């Protein structure tokens, strides 16, 4: 007797399609916002130098902005710009009322302190969620601007309907901008935060021995990998039916043709025969990152509009303060 094992292939999560759906929803909301008398949200991207990957990402972001009705500007700066000059550019954007969102494309050149730059972006306009105050707020389950890639991963998992409550999740990679905040969102407490996912989370990283990585992955209902190591996650590491989200993005250049190919961390062809859901690369998390940037820009824009009272109101507040100061002076 011949026994044929039917292989149930994983459902491929179409990140491009889901990102498009969200952009359409966002466009409706932004159109309504503008009809109500507000100016369009504004995003300024700061791009230092002309790294081809960075240029592609920024171009994708600008294209998405147009689609949803966000005004966007890219500030192209010389790779020789000093840290002080860059801080001045950011300070000007912080103080510019026509700017709602500021994004400094990373990585910045080696002579510039990245942390100092991220912290210089006003928390209200920090659409990347990289300011340390916003990172702290995220860790405390407080309302804040959340980094775009983690938000995109969360939204993908939610939209495909994968349950995370009490499930085992493994995050592979512990970078501060991706792995760490994804782990934060996955384990966050739903009693504090409606966006929380309540999973049991394990973070694996470069010093996790390969056999341990495999052991943890095998237990996982959800695997999110963000290492930049092509082929790291293989079929024999996957629990049947698991949801596999590939954040890895490595450019491999074919020596013969000179053409670049994008690959993730997951052995896609192998893993799709075991997993329940899987994201492709490209066309998985990447488009979601871009879309979440648009979402964050709209949130920042609404928050800033709420903060800036109408002119006559501002005048009243100012006079009130002056009155207060005068009284204080009298007492002195």
Task: Give catalytic residue positions.
Answer: 61, 105, 128
Smaller CB separation from ligand GUE, 111 or 318? 111
The CB-of-164 to ligand GUE minimum distance in angstroms stands at 23
Helix, strand or coil, per DSSP, at residue 241? coil
Among all chains, which residue has been given the structure tokens 């507000």?
Answer: 38
Q: Is 248 in the site for ligand GUE (CB under 6 A)?
A: no
Smaller CB separation from ligand GUE, 145 or 199? 145
Among all chains, which residue has been given the structure tokens 């801080």?
Answer: 87
| Residues 260 to 279 in contact with ligand GUE, rule: CB under 6 A | 262
| C-alpha distances out from residue 63 to 58, 73, 287, 292, Å | 9, 11, 11, 14
CA gap 270, 218 in Å, rounded: 15
Up-side HSE of residue 274: CA atoms within 13 Å toward CB? 22
Name the residue whose CB lies closest to ligand GUE.
286
* 100, 300 Cβ separation under 8 angstroms: yes
Interface residue with ligand GUE among 224, 286, 298, 304 (CB under 6 A) is 286
CA gap 52, 212 in Å, rounded: 36
Q: Is 103 in the site for ligand GUE (CB under 6 A)?
A: yes
How many residues touch ligand GUE (CB under 6 A)? Answer: 18
Smaller CB separation from ligand GUE, 149 or 168? 149
Contacts of 310 (CB under 8 A, 6+ apart): none
Binding mask 41-80 for ligand GUE (x = CB under 6 A): ---------------xx--x--------------------
Residues found near ligand GUE in the complex (CB under 6 A): 56-57, 60, 103-106, 128, 148, 249, 262, 281-283, 286-287, 289-290
């Amino acid at each position: 007797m011949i026994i044929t094992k039917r292989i149930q292939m994983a459902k491929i999560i179409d990140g491009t399609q889901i990102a498009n759906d969200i952009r359409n929803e966002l466009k409706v909301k932004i159109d309504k916002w503008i009809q109500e008398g507000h100016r369009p949200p504004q995003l300024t991207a700061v791009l230092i130098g002309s790294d081809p990957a960075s240029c592609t990402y920024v171009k994708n972001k600008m294209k998405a902005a147009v689609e949803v009705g966000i005004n966007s500007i890219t500030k192209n700066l010389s790779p020789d710009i000093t840290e002080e000059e860059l801080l001045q550019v950011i300070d000007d954007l912080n103080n510019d009322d026509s700017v709602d969102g500021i994004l400094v494309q990373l990585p910045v050149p080696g002579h510039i302190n990245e942390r100092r730059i991220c912290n210089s972006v006003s928390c209200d306009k920090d659409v990347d969620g990289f300011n340390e105050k916003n990172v702290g707020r995220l860790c405390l389950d407080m309302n804040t601007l959340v980094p775009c890639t983690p938000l995109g991963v969360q939204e993908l998992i939610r939209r495909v309907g994968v349950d995370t409550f009490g499930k085992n999740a493994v995050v592979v990679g512990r970078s501060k901008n991706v792995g760490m905040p994804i782990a934060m969102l996955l384990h966050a407490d739903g009693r504090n935060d409606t966006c929380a996912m309540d999973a049991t989370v394990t973070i694996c990283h470069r010093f996790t021995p390969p056999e341990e990585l495999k052991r943890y992955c095998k237990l996982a209902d959800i695997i999110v990998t963000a290492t930049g190591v092509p082929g790291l996650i293989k079929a024999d590491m996957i629990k049947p039916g698991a949801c596999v989200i590939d954040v890895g993005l490595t450019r491999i250049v074919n020596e013969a043709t000179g053409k670049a190919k994008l690959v993730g961390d997951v052995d896609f062809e192998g893993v799709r025969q075991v997993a329940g859901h899987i994201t492709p690369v490209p066309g998985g998390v990447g488009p979601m990152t871009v879309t979440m940037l648009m979402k964050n820009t709209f949130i920042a824009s609404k928050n800033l509009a709420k903060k800036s009272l109408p002119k006559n109101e501002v005048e009243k507040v100012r006079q009130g303060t002056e009155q207060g100061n005068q009284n204080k002076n009298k007492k002195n």
